[in-house]
Amino acid sequence: MPQPVVDIFIPCFVDQLFPQTAWNMVKLLEALGCKVRYNTNQTCCGQPAYNAGFQKECRQVADKFLEDFSSEDSDYIVAPSASCVGMIRNAYSNIFVTSSNFVRYRAMERKVLELTEFLTEVLQVKEIPGARLDARVTYHDSCSALRECGIKEGPRRLLEMVQGLELTEMRETETCCGFGGTFAAKFESISVAMAEQKVENALSTGAEYIVSTDTSCLMHLEAYNKKQNKPIKVMHIADVLTSGW
């Protein structure tokens, strides 16, 4: 297989709050034989504006995203966030449907993949040499990964490749963690109750870490854990897959 050229999209949450996850994704992709490129002009996918009802402003951000990621010499566009990938695949269809850029968008959209999708479906990874985490973990299915991108088994197969890792399933793993972007701010009490349920289900497995594809979910759960002094940590799957190197 020729060396795939991968343009990476680093979402706002990762860029501002979890930069090490971005670096770990780059390290992982390069170790698996990819040529990784990063366009420093990139910003946001526009999801916060879209979810808040600011359609015009979101269209401006989406236009910029299309401009930044329409390079014809890239094979794939990969992001460590199912939430942003879901936004590009689904909401962008509505945003560009009446635009002269719709065909251009479709050409770009076909190349957009969440990290674990890319690893399992494109690279068809069978092992991750050197990956090791001596811990019991439980996996959280983020709403965007599961419902917008159809991601379910891939992350679990990847976690099983990590030496020393014991994967245990929690109850109601497909239930929302309560973040939902502005939902957490507008409906704080409901959001906190949902985080509590998710964390208690994770704790009941004896896991030391909650792992997911989305830093937004993990940020929400980590904040709850710290506030309530819960003895469990969170970890993005890119960080897990590069542990022990």
User: Is residue 210 within 8 Å of 140, Cβ to Cβ?
Assistant: yes
What is residue 111's DSSP assignment? T
- CA-based radius of gyration for the chain: 18
pTM of the model: 0.94
User: Is residue 13 within 8 Å of 43, Cβ to Cβ?
Assistant: no
Answer whether residue 68 is part of any domain: yes
Q: What is the CATH number of the domain that holds 160?
A: 3.40.50.11810
Lookup: tokens for 160: 């099983």
On whether both 85 and 149 belong to a single domain, the answer is no
- Distance between CA atoms of 194 and 198, rounded to whole angstroms? 6
On whether both 80 and 149 belong to a single domain, the answer is no
User: Is residue 211 within 8 Å of 179, Cβ to Cβ?
Assistant: no
User: Is residue 13 within 8 Å of 79, Cβ to Cβ?
Assistant: no
On whether both 93 and 147 belong to a single domain, the answer is no
Q: Where are the alpha helices (DSSP H) in the chain?
A: 12-17, 19-31, 47-51, 55-68, 82-86, 92-96, 102-109, 115-117, 143, 153-159, 183-186, 188-203, 215-228, 237-241
On whether both 104 and 161 belong to a single domain, the answer is no
- Distance between CA atoms of 176 and 142, rounded to whole angstroms? 7
On whether both 141 and 116 belong to a single domain, the answer is no
- Distance between CA atoms of 90 and 73, rounded to whole angstroms? 24
Q: Give the pLDDT confidence score for residue 1 in this predicted structure.
A: 62
Which residue, 91, 122, 153, sits at the end of a domain? 122
On whether both 90 and 146 belong to a single domain, the answer is no
Residue 222: exposure state from Cβ atoms within 10 A (0-12, 13-18, ≥19): buried
Answer whether residue 148 is part of any domain: yes
On whether both 141 and 212 belong to a single domain, the answer is yes
Backbone phi, then psi, for 111, in 5-degree steps?
-95, -5
Answer whether residue 150 is part of any domain: yes
Answer whether residue 127 is part of any domain: no
Answer whether residue 149 is part of any domain: yes
On whether both 69 and 147 belong to a single domain, the answer is no
Total domains, the chain: 2
On whether both 116 and 9 belong to a single domain, the answer is yes
On whether both 36 and 66 belong to a single domain, the answer is yes
On whether both 9 and 59 belong to a single domain, the answer is yes
Tell me the average confidence (pLDDT) per consecutive run of 10 residues in the chain, 245 residues long: 92 94 98 97 93 91 95 95 96 93 95 98 96 98 95 98 98 93 85 96 98 95 96 98 95
Domain that holds residue 65: 5-122
On whether both 85 and 184 belong to a single domain, the answer is no
User: Is residue 167 within 8 Å of 138, Cβ to Cβ?
Assistant: yes
Which residue, 98, 122, 146, sits at the end of a domain? 122
